[in-house]
Structure 1
C-alpha cells in the first residue's frame, strides 16, 4: 500500500461544535502527531510580512494589533461577508497546505511517527482532501452543536446559526468522508472511538511497501 507522502496521513474535519478538536486531542494523548491547520494559519498570517500586507488591504489596519492577528475582528467579518472570506482563504490556504506537505515529508524522512493527523475545518473546501490518505468527518446533532458553541463562545443562538450557514452542509461532508464519527454521546464514548481508530491506523501504517 503506497501512501501519498511516504507516510499515512489522515485529515480530521467537521463543522463548528462537532468536536473535531477534541478528537484530535485524544489522538495526541495516545501518541499521534497532530498538525492543527488553524494554528499554522495563524502563525503564517503573523510571520509572513507580504501576506500581512495583503490581509490589511482586505480588512484594514484593524486586522492586526501590535503585529498580532486580530482574530475576533476578522472572524466577525468573514462570517458575514462571503467575498472577503473567499479572498482570505485564497491567500492563506495555499501557504498552509505547502507547510503541511513539507511537514509530512520531514516526518516520513525521520520516521518519527507511524501516521500524521491534520485537523482542519476546510479540508474539502480548500481541495486539501486530494493530499490525504483518509479523511475522518466528525459531526453531531445540530441542537447539540448549537448548545456547545453557545456555551464555549458565550454567544447567541442566532450568531451560531449564522456561522453554521457559512459552512459546508454537514451531510455533504459525511458523504465525502472515509470514516464518520457521530459525536452526540459522552466524552468517554468519543475517547473509545478514537482509541479504536488509533489502533486501526497503526495497523494500516504497517502496510507500506510493495503491497
Structure 2
C-alpha cells in the first residue's frame, strides 16, 4: 500500500524470515520514528490469562510449561506443521494484536515524530497493511538469511521453509510493497536507504 494522507505516515516493514526487518526498524528508530513490534505484542499477549485460557482450551496442557506459561517452542511445533492449527492460533492472537497496534498508532499520532514503523512479519497475511500508508520490503539473500538464523536461533533450513510456507510468497510481498530496501551490504548502506526513503515520505 502506498497511499498518502496528512497524518504521520505509518510504514509497514515486511520481508523473509531473518531478513533484518528489526534492523531496518531500528534504523528508522535512530531517525526519530516510533516502532511498533508485532512479534513483541504477540509474545506479551501470551502472558495474558484470557489468551492462555483460549490456548489451553484448544491445545491443552501440552503447550504449557510446569510454571503455567505458554511453551512457545511446543506451540510453534504444532501450528507450523498444520495450517488448520496455525489458523486457530491466528484467530486467537491476530484480532488482539491488531487492537494493540491501533491503540499504539493513535497514541503516537499526537507526537512530534517523522513516522510510525509497523514491524510485522505477517503484515499482509493478517490484513494489517490497511493500517499503513507505506510498505517496505527488506530484500536479503536466502543464503545470508539461513546463516543468520542458524547462528542466532539455531534454525535449520527446514524450519525456515516451514515458517515461510505458511506465508505469502516473498515475490508477491515485494510486488505489493511500494519500496524495496536491499540488505545485501553493510549497516551504513542500510541506514542511507532508510534515511532516503524517510526523506521522500516526509517531503512527498
- Normalising by structure 1, we get a TM-score of 0.86
CA RMSD of superposed structures (Å): 1.9
- Contact in 1 for aligned 2:135/2:178 (Cα 8 Å): yes
Q: Deviations over 1:175-202 (max 9, x none)?
A: 1001111222223221221222233333
Q: Given the superposition, is the C-alpha separation of residues 45 and 158 from structure 1 closer, same or farther in structure 2, using an over 3 Å criterion?
A: closer
Count of matched residue pairs = 200
1:86 matched to which residue of 2?
87
Q: CA deviation at 1:35?
A: 0.5
Alpha-carbon separation, structure 2, partners of 1:22 and 1:131: 21
Q: Given the superposition, is the C-alpha separation of residues 64 and 145 from structure 1 closer, same or farther in structure 2, using an over 3 Å criterion?
A: same
Q: CA deviation at 1:134?
A: 0.7
- For the residue of structure 2 that corresponds to 1:60, the secondary structure is helix
Alpha-carbon separation, structure 1, partners of 2:100 and 2:161: 32
1:132 matched to which residue of 2?
132
1:69 matched to which residue of 2?
70
1:177 matched to which residue of 2?
177
- Contact in 1 for aligned 2:16/2:170 (Cα 8 Å): yes
Matched, 1:29 2:30: yes
Q: Deviations over 1:46-98 (max 9, x none)?
A: 12x22211111223224333343322222222221211111111111111111
* Stretches of structure 2 lacking an aligned partner (at least 5 in a row): none
- For the residue of structure 1 that corresponds to 2:121, the secondary structure is coil
Q: CA deviation at 1:147?
A: 2.0
- Contact in 2 for aligned 1:58/1:84 (Cα 8 Å): no
- For the residue of structure 2 that corresponds to 1:137, the secondary structure is strand
Alpha-carbon separation, structure 2, partners of 1:100 and 1:10: 13
Q: Deviations over 1:92-148 (max 9, x none)?
A: 11111111112212222x334232101000111011111211111112222222222
Q: How does 1:7-156 map to 2 (within 5 A)?
A: 7-47=8-48, 49-65=49-65, 66-108=67-109, 110-156=110-156
* Stretches of structure 1 lacking an aligned partner (at least 5 in a row): 205-211
Moved over 6 A (4+): none
Alpha-carbon separation, structure 1, partners of 2:203 and 2:36: 21
- Contact in 2 for aligned 1:146/1:161 (Cα 8 Å): no
Using the TM superposition, name which of 155-164 and 29-38 deviates more. Answer: 155-164
